[in-house]
Chain A
Amino acid sequence: MWAMTVKEFRQLRRDHRTFAMMIVLPVMMLVIFGYAANFTVSKISTVVVGPQAMTVAEQLKAPFRVVEIDPKLGISTAKSRLLNGRAEVAFIAEPGTTQVLMDGTQLFSTETAEASLGRMAQAARASGTASPLSFSILYNPRLNTSWVLVPGLAGLILVFIGTLITSLGVVRERQSGTLEQLAVMPLRPWDVIAGKIVPYFIVASLDLIVIIAVGILLFGVPFVGNVAVFALGAIFFLLVTLGIGVLISTISQNQGQAIQLAFMVMLPQILLSGLIFPISSMGVGVRWISYILPLTYFIDISRGVMLKGMPIVALLEPLALLAILAMVVLALAMLRFRRDLAPSSRSYRSAMAESKVTA
């Protein structure tokens, strides 16, 4: 038994990635997720409009964080702010009555706002100064969890297919010795990467259609927005996840390493993308990670289009960021791949001229 134990330790010591996964990763995960795992919303971005806006805004306390006050604006502006995601709650302060609109896609913010409004109304009634307060929830009036989760889960499933399955692609070539063969064949690195990505892209797209259809039919999730905008976001997002898969594949020597790395990439996306925990509740130290994760932006797009019907102009930011991420990841993957597929290009004194001579 001792011989076996010593041998295992020796193997483990040389397998740096597994070693890191066993020692460093759990500590890192604990710290990151400890700060991220928080359902409590302490700040709710709020706009206050209507003739009594100044008076109402003065009365608002935490968790409401007023980001805009304008007595000249009305309900249409308030709805527009909620639609575009600029605010989670809008107060329309008319003389004698205040209407509160809440964004039902922000599940935890809305629940927190509801509770705070209840307390505010109670306190006002007790002091006899209450102005009638009516509130309504937009986009997800019954605060269905499945409505909020399904658009995000669709993204998560794409991450799974895109990253994990694709990451095995190049490694399989490396292990079976065909990567060397490909490097000698007259294929450009881009041809190989594109050729590898296209089948997964098609399968993942079909998967996405099935997931969304099941979400609509089984869970009654609405799809009120433009399909083309959703498709554009999905294409960019898929390119990022497939690119990450190829990138992992190019830096892994075997399928085990690829799976390890894929999980290291997938886990933060599950916990830090806003799929489960609201990003606004995360500690500042880990929140920045959310902003470099592609799933964060896909969730913005999928929830925005499906539940709120956000127009493309309101989604330019996440769309642009996904496009940039796609370009960066694919460029990195191609650079890495080029090392495998054109290793001796530096000293390649070949040959087009020579081949012409010999042809």
Chain B
Amino acid sequence: MSWGIESATVRYGSQVALDGLTLQPERGSVTVVIGGDGAGKSTCLKALVGLVPLNEGTASRPSKKEIGYVPATGGIYPDLTVYENLAFFGRSYGIKGSAFEKRRANVLELVGLRDVRERLAGQLSGGMQRKLAVGLALLHQPLLLVLDEPTTGLDPLSRAEIWRVISHTAAQGAAVVLSTTYVNEAQRASLVILLSKGRSIAAGSPSQIIAGVPGKVGRVKSERQPPGLAWRRGGMWHTWDLSKGTPDEADRIEPDFSDAVIIAELSHEIGITR
């Protein structure tokens, strides 16, 4: 069993949205696709679930009954109550009777929306709406759960709650793939794929990505940006140098995941193949 996309290229007219990307999520684990705006995250997830056709490459996925998907745009019916949303999804997946009632109760418990089950989805807070969308995608117990930026724009508490649901789902044996722009979230994944302009510029577990950082990373306390490649981290500057020594004035440090992500993007920009 191996789902995913292999050497997948997607073009929208002359624009290449995905460029030879391979993504093969594993059951029981969380894969995170991370990248900036326009990096190709949504296209990647859409290709995975079959929402966009591939121009090149191959895709394989379970049957639609075994896929759960949360689009970035919402995926809930705001003019239906929480219960009615669940009822529509249940019927669409052919879940009926006591089996439906049991799953509905489980999902409401899992996403913490039991107390607002009679409320219109459109009247829920942003965080609750996202939780409902995740709950709807989980109702039929999918083997592959794909979530497009499920935590974007949410407060830290809501994000943590959604991550609890995601981790629980993976622990139950589903392959979970999600996209995010938050580097700290990506650290929770078993597999991270860093996208830039539709291409994978780094892939592996967070520790593998950190271990793959070339050159040296240093830390400088300075008001001004130090010379060379540097980025702010709190009150300090982190620097990156491909030469053997660290830059003058800089204390050498072990890069963390955030540094690794930034360095991967810098490497890609200046044309260093990792």
Q: A187 contacts which chain B residues (CB < 8 A)?
A: 92
Q: With an 8 A cutoff between CB atoms, is B188 at the interface?
A: no
Q: With an 8 A cutoff between CB atoms, is B187 at the interface?
A: no
Extra contacts, 8 of them, besides A185-B92, A345-B53, A348-B59 (Cβ < 8 A), are A176-B76, A183-B50, A183-B51, A184-B49, A185-B89, A185-B93, A350-B63, A355-B63
Q: With an 8 A cutoff between CB atoms, is A351 at the interface?
A: yes
Question: Is B93 in contact with A181, judged by CB distance below 8 angstroms?
Answer: no
Interfacial residues of chain B within 65-99, with CB under 8 A of chain A in the complex: 65-67, 69-78, 89, 92-94
Interfacial residues of chain A within 157-185, with CB under 8 A of chain B in the complex: 176-178, 180-181, 183-185
Contact of A180 among B62, B71, B143 (CB under 8 A): B71
Interface string of A310-352 (1 = CB under 8 A from B): 0000000000000000000000000000000001111111111
Q: With an 8 A cutoff between CB atoms, is A126 at the interface?
A: no
Question: Is B51 in contact with A184, judged by CB distance below 8 angstroms?
Answer: yes
Q: Chain B residue with minimal CB distance to A357? A: B1
Q: B62 contacts which chain A residues (CB < 8 A)?
A: 350-351, 354-355, 358
Question: Is A343 in contact with B92, judged by CB distance below 8 angstroms?
Answer: no
Interfacial residues of chain A within 32-56, with CB under 8 A of chain B in the complex: none
Q: A355 contacts which chain B residues (CB < 8 A)?
A: 62-63, 65-66
Question: Is B64 in contact with A177, judged by CB distance below 8 angstroms?
Answer: no
Q: A185 contacts which chain B residues (CB < 8 A)?
A: 64, 89, 92-93
Given A176-B73, A178-B74, A178-B76, residue A343 in contact with residue B50 (CB < 8 A):
yes
Pairs A–B under 8 Å by Cβ, sample size 7 = A177-B72, A180-B75, A181-B70, A186-B63, A347-B53, A358-B1, A358-B62
Distance of A184 from chain B, by nearest CB (Å): 4
Question: Is B51 in contact with A348, judged by CB distance below 8 angstroms?
Answer: no
Q: With an 8 A cutoff between CB atoms, is B159 at the interface?
A: no
Contact of B65 among A186, A343, A357 (CB under 8 A): A186
Contact of B71 among A177, A347, A351 (CB under 8 A): A177
Q: With an 8 A cutoff between CB atoms, is B258 at the interface?
A: no
A183 to B45, CA, bound (A): 14
Interface residues in chain B, defined as those with a beta carbon under 8 Å from any beta carbon in chain A: 1, 3, 46-47, 49-54, 58-67, 69-78, 89, 92-94, 136, 143
A349 to B58, CA, bound (A): 7
Q: B59 contacts which chain A residues (CB < 8 A)?
A: 344, 347-350
Distance of B148 from chain A, by nearest CB (Å): 9
Question: Is B47 in contact with A344, judged by CB distance below 8 angstroms?
Answer: yes
Q: B60 contacts which chain A residues (CB < 8 A)?
A: 349-351, 354
Contact of B1 among A176, A180, A346, A354 (CB under 8 A): A354
Q: Chain A residue with minimal CB distance to B53? A: A344
Given A185-B93, A354-B1, A358-B1, residue A346 in contact with residue B53 (CB < 8 A):
yes
Interface size grouping (class) on chain A:
20 to 34
Distance of A214 from chain B, by nearest CB (Å): 30
Given A180-B51, A343-B52, A347-B54, residue A186 in contact with residue B64 (CB < 8 A):
yes
Q: A344 contacts which chain B residues (CB < 8 A)?
A: 47, 50-54, 59
Question: Is B143 in contact with A358, judged by CB distance below 8 angstroms?
Answer: yes
Q: B74 contacts which chain A residues (CB < 8 A)?
A: 176-178
Given A348-B59, A349-B59, A358-B143, residue A178 in contact with residue B75 (CB < 8 A):
yes
Question: Is A176 in contact with B78, judged by CB distance below 8 angstroms?
Answer: yes
Distance of A82 from chain B, by nearest CB (Å): 52
Q: What 5 pairs across the A-B complex have the smallest Cβ distances? A: A177-B73, A355-B63, A177-B74, A186-B64, A184-B69
Q: A177 contacts which chain B residues (CB < 8 A)?
A: 71-75
Question: Is B67 in contact with A184, judged by CB distance below 8 angstroms?
Answer: yes
Distance of A277 from chain B, by nearest CB (Å): 41
Distance of B42 from chain A, by nearest CB (Å): 10
Q: A184 contacts which chain B residues (CB < 8 A)?
A: 49-51, 64, 67, 69
A220 to B52, CA, bound (A): 57
Q: B76 contacts which chain A residues (CB < 8 A)?
A: 176, 178
Q: B52 contacts which chain A residues (CB < 8 A)?
A: 343-344
Q: Chain B residue with minimal CB distance to A359? A: B66
Q: B65 contacts which chain A residues (CB < 8 A)?
A: 186, 355
Distance of A302 from chain B, by nearest CB (Å): 34
Residue from A176, A184, A343, A345 having most chain B Cβ neighbours under 10 A: A184
